[in-house]
Structure 1
Amino acid sequence: MATVELRFSPLPEHVRTARLVAAAVARRAGVDEAVLDEVRLAVGEACSRAVGLHQSSGLTAPVRVALIEEEKQFSIEVGDEAPRAAVVEQASAGGGAGEPEADGEDDMGLAVISGLVDDVEVTADESGGLIRMSWPTTPDTEEPPG
C-alpha cells in the first residue's frame, strides 16, 4: 500500500493543486481514464469544503489530503479540523451524504461528491471531519513480476 500525503494552507488557490496531484496519483494507481474527471471534481469539492470550513471557523491549520493506493482500490481522504457534532454518513450513488447541522452550501458539496463517487464515507466530530472516497483500480499489466 502506497500513500501520498498533501497538506496545504486553507486557501482556495491550493485546491487546484490538490486536484491535479490527485488525478496524477489516481492515474498511476490504475484508476480508469474515464473516471479521472470524477476524481478531480470530487477532490475539488471535498477540498473546497474543507477550506470553507477552516475559513469560517477561523482556523489556519492545514487541510490534509491522503491519496492511498491499495491492491484493488484507490482511496482519497480529505480531512479538516473544523469542530462539529459527531456524524457518520455512508453515501452511495443512489443516496446522499449530509450532516444535519450543515448549511446549504455544505449540503450541496456533499451531494455533488456523492453523485460523483459510489463509495463515500463522511465522518465528523469535535476534532474535525474526514471525507473518504474510493474507486476501483485495474491491475497493472505493464510488466509481469520477475
Structure 2
Amino acid sequence: VPCHICAASKPEVNECGEKAEDAQYFNMEDCVLTAIELDYITCPNHPDIPVSLQELVPELFMTDFPARLFLENSKLECSENENNVLGQGGSGTVIYRARYQGKPVALKRFQIKKCKGSPTSAADTMLKHLRAMDAMKNFSEFRQEASMLHSLQHPCIVSLIGISIH
C-alpha cells in the first residue's frame, strides 16, 4: 500500500533534475499488525509525520460504517478481570461486563496476539506472517459481525450499541 503522504509530496524530478525518491510502500502484514495497537504507522521517508492507518487501510478501521456506531472510548468503563467475564466466543473472543455512558453493556473483545520486535530468522518471519493472517481474520470477522448486528433489530437479539477498533 503506497504512503499517501509520500505520493502527494514527492515530485517526479527533484530540484537537481534527478529522479525523486520513490514513495514508501507498506505491506499489508505490517499495516495489520500495527493497527492492533496504533492508529498510525511510521514512514521511513518522513518519520516525524505519522501516516494514518485509517487512510492507508480504511477497510480495517471500518471507515465505511456510520460515524454514530463508533464508540467514544472515554465513555467506556471496562475492567478485564475475571469477575467481569460473561463468556467466551469461538475465535478467542471474550465477553465482558462493562458500562457505556453509565449504562450496562456487554463488551466483546477480539484477542489478537501482538508481535514483538523485528523478525530475525525465517521462523520469526513465518510466525509474523501467521500472526498477521490471524489478525486479518479477526478484523474480517469483527467487520462481518458488526455489519450483521447493525442491521438486525429483534427483541431476542442483543442490540449493537457501537464498535471500537482499540
Quickly name the TM-score band, shorter chain normalised. under 0.3
Structure with higher Rg: it is 2
Counting helix residues as a fraction of each chain, which structure ranks higher? 1
TM-score by length of 2: 0.24
TM-score (normalizing by structure 1): 0.26
Higher relative contact order (CA 8 A, sep 6+): 1
